[in-house]
Structure 1
Amino acid sequence: MARLNVEDLVVSYGAVVAVSDISFSVEDGEFVSLLGPSGCGKTTTLRCIAGLESSSGGTIRLGDTMMASDGSDIPPDKRGINMVFQSYAVWPHMSVFENVAYGLRTRREPVADIKRKVGEALKLVGLDGFAQRYGTELSGGQQQRVALARAVVTSPKLLLFDEPLSNLDAGLRDRMRFELVDLQRRLGQTSLYVTHDQSEAMLMSDRIILMKDGRIVQSGTPRDLYERPASRFAAEFIGNANIVDATVIRSVPDRSALVALAGGITVEGHFSRESDIRASGQVIACIRAESITRASESADGVNVFDATVETVGFLGPLITCTLRVGDVRLRAELPARRPPLVGESIKVRIEPDDVIIIAEQ
């Protein structure tokens, strides 16, 4: 394992710049996700680190070794990096044992060592007893485990994941998320994971690097990105958020502020970043759907509003509903045990700490 350091990386195809001057690091043993919409450059970045794409500029360093520098790249097989693909890439004509042993055989390791290491890798991913089966005899989840075993069996310095769970059904995908994180923690493997699924990134990552249009727009822990989004894009992409245009009425040094929403409604909240405290004029207010709670009919005080229920949808333990507060529509997630009815007037409360005010549009 080793520290990955990417500095000023550029990947371009003629006049098209897919990745533009991005810099980040992944510490030894850390699990970091590159998150963003399709076409944001996250997979291109991953493939460039793996050596499957050529860099146009910048540097990629793994430990003390320079992997790429201003367009001069070390070949993929010399990098000590393994990658788990979205498509599994399990060879159907080979047994599970031979699939996992392939990398060890190309390194000409002794037969006894290959048998031991493959056995350990299969046990690690819960496939001991499957060694003689073929790819066509495995489920999607089992094939993904084979791909994981094949990736870890050679003890790479860095493990890369390119949306490895996106082809699995929802229930299996949820289980594999926990299994993958548990495996990474047990191995202490330095890992970089690409996904467009914000729930997946939030659940699995030590840190998230959020990308848009080939650039990094924000990075930090999942809690950082959720509680302190730095832009409208970050607020919309992470979590289930209502984004409302607002005007600052009053702000104070402790990051709290009073803002006016549409229809004259005023809301107390707090700025996402200390650097935004002096912001004035137009801002945006981010209100998470789960932050809106139902209040008693006699409730009053800060951020208590009359609301009209416009839609209601059932989600098991929760309902999702659209509320009209003044001239503002807000999406809320409320407990399903006492659901409101369409057309009903209710009172709702939003804690000031749950109203995130963002100066950057």
Structure 2
Amino acid sequence: MSAVRFEGVSKKYSSDSSSGGVFDISFDIPAGQFTSLVGASGSGKTTILRLMAGFLQPTEGKIYMDNQIVSDNTHSLPTNRRDLAMVFQSYALWPHMTVFENVAFGLRARKVHKPEIKKLVDEVLQLVNMEKYVERRPGELSGGQQQRIALARSLVLKPRLLLLDEPLSNLDAELRIQMREQLKELQLTTGITFVYVTHDQEEALAMSDYLLVLEKGKLLQSDHPEVVYFRPVDARVARFIGRAFPLNGTLVNVSKGGLGKIELENSNKNLQLLGSVPAHTGISLGSSVCLVLRSEMVRIVDSNTVDNTSECRISGVILSSSFIGRENQIEVKLETGDLLTVYDNSRRRFKAGESLLLAFDPEAAVIVPERAG
């Protein structure tokens, strides 16, 4: 069942498409799950969230919540009638109010009786582990504590839909990891549909049951994180989600088992490599395609070893090598001229200018079009 559905929705801020907005977007948000909208700045994430909230009205298309139309280009259901709550990047806590008063604010606006308010506030503060701070004011709390109060203020209303607009962006790296784990736990505990906006693809993968990948106001792919990661619809999605490096070429053959052979561009030796061709792509022979390699699937091999495996091999030259703790991060310029980052956890020292031979399992690589559709 869908909590939210967009059908051909556009929101144009002006006739110039470069001015932002979203264009002819259709998707479903699964009910009772954690969905993330992910994309670079200007991809349309916050616009979609504001359309869901009722802060914006679509230029074209229809928005449904629980199979009821809430917005189209002629009318829009007011925000306070959409049974949703929103957590902002800035938290927006009342500085003169205590923690209890901030969390109780929405309940008082709904004229809930005092005994029920205390019961509900106490319950939600325990849920976010902030029950000891009821008399403090926001200025006496850390950033992470303020974030939890902002969450509690939304959760206490028991909305069907909780919208979160990059709420962790002001926190340091360690606290962000702690908070994203708690957010996921809260979603599972409450069963509320979470819709989360982020530009951090690692964060989106770690937290989400479902992903929407956006670019310049267009929806590129919507699916479960594992599908988006391992079976991107095109090179744009592959580049954004995970450490991926598409190599351009032409599809010259596809076996019955679904392995495709591509002839790489910019190769003086007519180098051909293999990769898996997803059935949904519908790529035809002779098409321009990309072989998507991810850093974790590529390993460094000894050039003196005999190639008696089914692995594909490609050579390159090291541009730089950095020790980053548990592994070396190595920037390699491939023989095709493409750049690839590989990681090696051996204690070997790598030097700029050194030649490398890289290998990968073609079953793990994927061949996709540069652009889907």
Structure 1 residue 71 displacement after superposition: 3.2
Measure the CA separation in 2 of the matches of 1:103 and 1:182: 23
Q: Is the 8 A contact 1:57 1:71 kept in 2?
A: no
Q: 1:324 to 1:21 in 2, by over 3 A?
A: closer
Q: 1:16 to 1:147 in 2, by over 3 A?
A: farther
* RMSD across aligned positions (CA): 1.9
Q: Is the 8 A contact 2:57 2:72 kept in 1?
A: no
Q: Which residue of 1 aligns with 2:330?
A: 321
Q: 1:98 to 1:279 in 2, by over 3 A?
A: farther
Pair 1:253-2:256 in alignment: yes
Measure the CA separation in 2 of the matches of 1:330 and 1:64: 46
Structure 1 residue 306 displacement after superposition: 4.2
TM-score of the superposed pair, with normalisation by structure 2: 0.91
Q: 1:216 to 1:2 in 2, by over 3 A?
A: closer
Q: 1:260 to 1:64 in 2, by over 3 A?
A: closer
Alignment counterpart, residue 243 of structure 1, candidates 233, 242, 246: 246
Q: Which residue of 2 aligns with 1:298?
A: 305
Q: 1:117 to 1:336 in 2, by over 3 A?
A: farther
Q: 1:223 to 1:54 in 2, by over 3 A?
A: same
Q: Is the 8 A contact 1:249 1:257 kept in 2?
A: yes
TM-score of the superposed pair, with normalisation by structure 1: 0.94
Q: 1:66 to 1:305 in 2, by over 3 A?
A: closer
Pair 1:184-2:187 in alignment: yes
User: 289-298 or 117-126: which moved more?
Assistant: 289-298
Q: Is the 8 A contact 1:2 1:158 kept in 2?
A: no
Query: Map of 1:200-215 to 2, 5 A cutoff?
Result: 200-215=203-218
Measure the CA separation in 2 of the matches of 1:108 and 1:306: 70
Residue type at the aligned position of 2:358: V
Stretches of structure 2 lacking an aligned partner (at least 5 in a row): none
Q: Is the 8 A contact 1:279 1:359 kept in 2?
A: no
Q: Is the 8 A contact 2:281 2:369 kept in 1?
A: no
Pair 1:5-2:2 in alignment: no
Measure the CA separation in 2 of the matches of 1:110 and 1:310: 67
CA offsets, 1:313-343, max 9 Å, x none? 1222122102244233422122153343334
CA offsets, 1:278-305, max 9 Å, x none? 3324211111112111224414143134
Structure 1 residue 64 displacement after superposition: 4.7
CA offsets, 1:128-161, max 9 Å, x none? 1101000000111000000000010010111101
Q: Is the 8 A contact 1:308 1:323 kept in 2?
A: yes
Structure 1 residue 16 displacement after superposition: 4.3
Measure the CA separation in 1 of the matches of 2:245 and 2:234: 13
Q: Which residue of 2 aligns with 1:120?
A: 123
User: 346-355 or 302-311: which moved more?
Assistant: 302-311
Task: Flag as ranges the 4+ runs of structure 1 deviating above 6 A.
Answer: none
Measure the CA separation in 1 of the matches of 2:211 and 2:132: 36
Q: Which residue of 2 aligns with 1:35?
A: 38
Q: 1:253 to 1:188 in 2, by over 3 A?
A: same
Q: Which residue of 2 aligns with 1:286?
A: 292
Match of 1:353, SS state, is coil
Residue type at the aligned position of 2:4: L
Could you tell me the percent identity over the aligned residues? 37
Query: Map of 1:1-361 to 2, 5 A cutoff?
Result: 3-16=3-16, 18-261=21-264, 262-263=266-267, 264=269, 265-296=271-302, 297-301=304-308, 302-328=311-337, 329-361=339-371
CA offsets, 1:156-193, max 9 Å, x none? 11110111111111111111111100110111111111
Say how many residue pairs are matched: 361
